[in-house]
Structure 1
């Protein structure tokens, strides 16, 4: 007997609007973290940096291993999250797209990606960003993010509430998506979901590639 594929999932306009504003701002904040006078904060957090090959224009990419086989990859134009096949979010559109973790350097190389068939990784992506922002606040205090947002017009949220905003958005996504094959059911409660606890930062590296480290995960 043939099995019907699960229905395509959609994000509400409210979630997409909020996600777009937060992600556009977040990419700016990561850029400020990279340019921090005291040293590149992404490298301090454990990311590995790779620059475009000689003669190729584009954005550097920063990669971090997180829980299990999952990894995060950041560019100036968006974020990848997954294990091999994952999702990509462009900073200018909050639409999850299926993507592989590939060495790409320009946003146009990601423009033809198909929309994700489900959003099982989306909430994890948002919670990882929330965990990163909680680490920034805990490590550097509120003044760092406050200073970062001085040059950003129309901040999407207060500098002290960025982590909370991402976690709230993740919860909205989780509540809106049914469990495949279980009509009327919703995604598991928060205490049963994977969360991320960013590690204590290592000493920064200032040249070449810096190896990423794994952030602890708990259930």
Structure 2
């Protein structure tokens, strides 16, 4: 791929994210106990940047970091030759993650699955914890919808917390394997002055803060907060 880095990039979501150097302090401006649109916008920008980083990890000169981490790569069939490869990973506790250029699917046999699209941060929920078919586009995903009741909102939050915990663990692994200078270097091309950019040293703390906001339900749109 430059696969995850640029798939369906929409010029890196420049049309959807304000051009800025972001800081984690922006997440501290969310009102208490309320759904926070500003936090969702920040999280959407960070996910877009994270997908770029995974795309750079695939192209690392010392080897594909996603494969090294344990992901399985599936190349697109001939009829989908313009699509990026798919990366999926089975996790402990009957969980799994699928990385696509257009978003991330996370499944847990206890709670179902969520899909978080690249250019937004409104998780869509499904009762399926596993993708039955390869997701070469959004149309290949199972039926997804926002959480519609308290039980679904709780499941959505639990899935989001597990996904974010995995992202933080992965970033910690990358730092250990490639050193502290690697992630800042991989973001140099991303930081073009025209799109959301969070300095590398703030990425893990920002994901942890987003995890806290997810746990409280403040990253769900107001109508979906249980």
TM-score by length of 1: 0.70
1:162 maps to which residue?
203
Corresponding residue to 2:114 among 55, 63, 87:
87
Which structure would you say has the larger Rg?
A: 1
- Secondary structure, in 3 states, of the residue corresponding to 2:197? coil
| 1:49–1:164 distance in 2 versus 1, CA, 3 Å | same
Q: 1:77 Cα shift? A: 1.2
Aligned length: 169
State how far apart, in whole Å, the 1-side matches of 2:178 and 2:202 are: 15
- Secondary structure, in 3 states, of the residue corresponding to 1:24? helix
Corresponding residue to 1:48 among 62, 72, 77:
72
Q: 1:161 Cα shift? A: 2.4
Corresponding residue to 1:132 among 165, 170, 187:
170
- Secondary structure, in 3 states, of the residue corresponding to 1:49? strand
Q: 1:44 Cα shift? A: 0.3
Corresponding residue to 1:173 among 214, 219, 222:
214
Higher helix share: 2
Does residue 151 of structure 1 match 2:175?
no
2:94 maps to which residue?
69
Deviation digits for residues 146-173 of structure 1 (CA, Å, limit 9, x no counterpart): 1111001255322122122111110121
Gaps of 5+ in 1: 1-9, 178-185, 187-219
Gaps of 5+ in 2: 1-33, 219-225
Deviation digits for residues 12-67 of structure 1 (CA, Å, limit 9, x no counterpart): 21221121011000000000001111111000000011112222242211111122
Q: Once superposed, what is the RMSD of the aligned Cα atoms?
A: 2.2
CA contact (8 A) 2:103 2:117 kept: yes
Larger displacement relative to structure 2 (148-157 or 162-171):
148-157
State how far apart, in whole Å, the 1-side matches of 2:113 and 2:48 are: 20
Larger displacement relative to structure 2 (71-80 or 11-20):
11-20
